[in-house]
Structure 1
Amino acid sequence: MEAQSSLPDTERHWLIAALPPAARPFGLLARFDRPIGWWLLFWPCAWSVALAGGAAERWDLLLWFLVGAIAMRGAGCTYNDIVDRDLDRKVERTRGRPLASGRVSLRAAWIWLVLQCLIGLVVLLQLHWEAQLVALGSLALVAAYPFMKRITWWPQVWLGLVFSWGVPVGWVAITGEAAPAMFWLYAGAVFWVIGYDTIYALQDIEDDALAGVKSTARRLGTHARSGVAIFYLLALACWGIAIWQVRPQWLAVAALIPAALHLLWQVATLKREDGADALAKFRSNRETGLLVALACLVIGATA
Structure 2
Amino acid sequence: MTTPAPEIVPDTEYRGLMGLLPAAARPYALLARFDRPIGWWLLFWPGAWAIALSGQAILRWDLLLWFLLGSIAMRGAGCVYNDIVDRDLDRQVARTRSRPLASGAVSLKAAWGWLLALCLVGLVVLVQLRPFAVWVALASLVLVAAYPFMKRITWWPQAWLGLVFSWAALVGWAEAPDMHFTPGALLYAGSIFWVIGYDTIYALQDVEDDALVGVRSSARRLGSRVRPGVAFFYAAALALWAAAFWQLRPDPLALAALLPMALHLAWQVLTLVPADGANALARFRSNRNAGLLMFAACLVIGQTL
Change (3 A) 1:296 1:270: same
1:224 to 223, 226, 249: 226
Structure 2 CA distance for aligned equivalents of residues 149 and 126 of structure 1 = 34
Q: What residue is the counterpart of 2:130 in the other structure?
A: 128
Q: What residue is the counterpart of 1:32 in the other structure?
A: 34
Change (3 A) 1:182 1:32: same
Q: What residue is the counterpart of 1:22 in the other structure?
A: 24
User: How big is each residue's C-alpha offset from its partner over 1:160-208, in whole Å with a ceiling of 9 and x where there is no partner?
Assistant: 0000000010011112665110010000000000000000000000000
Q: Displacement of 1:12 after TM fit?
A: 2.6
Q: What residue is the counterpart of 1:150 in the other structure?
A: 152
Q: Displacement of 1:30 after TM fit?
A: 0.4
Query: 3-state DSSP class of the match of 2:95?
Result: coil
Does the 8 A contact of 2:245 with 2:301 survive in 1?
Answer: yes
Q: What residue is the counterpart of 1:12 in the other structure?
A: 14
Query: 3-state DSSP class of the match of 2:250?
Result: coil
Q: Which amino acid aligns with 2:87?
A: R
Query: 3-state DSSP class of the match of 2:303?
Result: helix
Query: 3-state DSSP class of the match of 1:302?
Result: coil
The number of equivalent residue pairs is: 303
Change (3 A) 1:40 1:261: same
Change (3 A) 1:73 1:4: farther
Does the 8 A contact of 1:13 with 1:32 survive in 2?
Answer: no
Q: What residue is the counterpart of 1:287 in the other structure?
A: 289
Counterparts of 1:66-105 in structure 2 under 5 Å?
66-105=68-107
Q: Which runs of no fewer than 5 residues in structure 1 stay unpaired?
A: none
Q: Which runs of no fewer than 5 residues in structure 2 stay unpaired?
A: none
Structure 2 CA distance for aligned equivalents of residues 281 and 292 of structure 1 = 16
Change (3 A) 1:176 1:106: farther
1:268 to 247, 266, 270: 270
Q: What residue is the counterpart of 1:167 in the other structure?
A: 169
Q: Which amino acid aligns with 1:44?
A: P
Structure 1 CA distance for aligned equivalents of residues 208 and 135 of structure 2 = 41
Structure 2 CA distance for aligned equivalents of residues 36 and 300 of structure 1 = 25
Structure 2 CA distance for aligned equivalents of residues 105 and 67 of structure 1 = 26
Q: Displacement of 1:19 after TM fit?
A: 1.3
Query: 3-state DSSP class of the match of 1:172?
Result: helix
Change (3 A) 1:178 1:172: farther
Q: Which amino acid aligns with 2:199?
A: D
Does the 8 A contact of 1:161 with 1:190 survive in 2?
Answer: yes
Does the 8 A contact of 2:57 with 2:64 survive in 1?
Answer: yes
Q: Which amino acid aligns with 2:272?
A: L
Query: 3-state DSSP class of the match of 1:57?
Result: coil
Structure 1 CA distance for aligned equivalents of residues 288 and 6 of structure 2 = 23
Q: Displacement of 1:5 after TM fit?
A: 3.0
User: How big is each residue's C-alpha offset from its partner over 1:46-100, in whole Å with a ceiling of 9 and x where there is no partner?
Assistant: 0000001111111000000000000000000000000000000000000000000
TM-score (structure 1 length as normaliser): 0.98
Does the 8 A contact of 2:54 with 2:179 survive in 1?
Answer: no
Structure 1 CA distance for aligned equivalents of residues 242 and 8 of structure 2 = 41
Q: Displacement of 1:16 after TM fit?
A: 1.1
Q: Which amino acid aligns with 2:89?
A: L
Instruction: Name segments (4+ residues, structure 1) moved above 6 Å.
Output: none
Percent of aligned pairs with the same amino acid: 68
2:121 to 119, 122, 126: 119
